[in-house]
Amino acid sequence: MSAASLRSASSIPVRQRLIVALDVPDAATAKSLVGELGDSVEFYKIGLELAGSGDYFDLLAWLLEQDKRVFADLKFYDVPATVSSAVRQISRWGASFLTIHGDRAIMEAAASEKGPELELLAVTVLTSLDQNDLAQMGITIDVKELVLMRAEQALEAGCDGVISSGLEAAAIRERVGPKLLIVSPGIRPADSTSVDDQKRIVTPARAFQNGADYIVVGRPIRNAANPRETAESMQAEIAAALL
C-alpha cells in the first residue's frame, strides 16, 4: 500500500491543503499579501515574527473574518503546566492548528487542554536541521528515526498530527498509517534555485505523493513576481498530485 493511500484525511478540501506562511513583520504587510492572493489561498500560517509585532491576535481574528483558516505556528516549548495553560488560551481564538514541540510530557499536557476544535501538531524535527545539526546538539539518533519516534509519541499523547518534512512523510505513514495529519514545510517548486535556511526540502507533488495532508509554503509564493499566479500554479500541482 502506498504512502499516499494512507493519507489521513481525504475529505480535506483540495484548495485548503496549501497553507501560506505569513512570515512578515506586521499585520499591514500580511493583509496586503492576503488581499493580493485573494481566493487562491484559503489557509494561512501566522508565526513568531508576527507574534512579536503586537498584531498577532488582531490579525488572527481578521483572517477568520475573511473566511480563512488559521494555523497558529507558535511552537510552544516550556514546562508542561505552562504549555497546557497557553494551549487553553489559544483554543479560544478560533485557530484550526497549533504547533508544540515534540516532547512527550509537553504533548500530553497540551492535548489535555486543546478542546474539540483546535488540532495540535507536534514538531518532529525542524526542516532547517540536518544530521550535522543534530550532532551539534548532542543527538546521535538518525534524523528519520527521531522523526518516527516523535510521531509515534505524538499519536500516543493525543496530538492530531505532526510537522514533518515531506522526506519523512512516507516513513511516518508506514509506521502509524492514517492516524495522524502530516503537515510539511520546507516546500520548494521543482524549478527553484533559491538558497535559504531550509535543508530537508521537497516539491509540492512529492510531499503529497509521500502521504502529506498539507504543505506550508512561504518564500516561494511571497517573493514571487506574481504571488497569486504562483499560488494558483501550486494549487494545480496539488490537485494533480491527489488524482
Active-site annotation holder among 31, 68, 75, 144: 75
Instruction: Mark residue 55 as left, alpha or beta (left: phi above 0; alpha: psi -120 to 50; beta: remaining).
Output: alpha
Question: Which residues are paired to 202 by β-bridges?
Answer: 187
* CA angle 202–207–210, rounded 5-degree value: 120
Q: Say how far apart CA 96 and CA 82 lie, in whole Å.
A: 21
Question: Which residues are paired to 182 by β-bridges?
Answer: 162
Cell matching residue 165: 518534512
Sign of CA dihedral 135, 130, 118, 177: negative
Widest CA span in the chain: 47
- Is residue 75 part of the annotated active site? The answer reads yes
Q: Say how far apart CA 211 and CA 192 lie, in whole Å.
A: 22
Sign of CA dihedral 45, 67, 213, 229: negative
36: enclosing H helix or E strand: helix 27-37
Q: Say how far apart CA 110 and CA 100 lie, in whole Å.
A: 8
Burial 66-104 (b: 16+ CB within 10 A, else e): eebbbbbbbbbeeebeebbebbeebbeeebbbbbbbbbe
> Where in the sequence numbering do the catalytic residues fall?
75
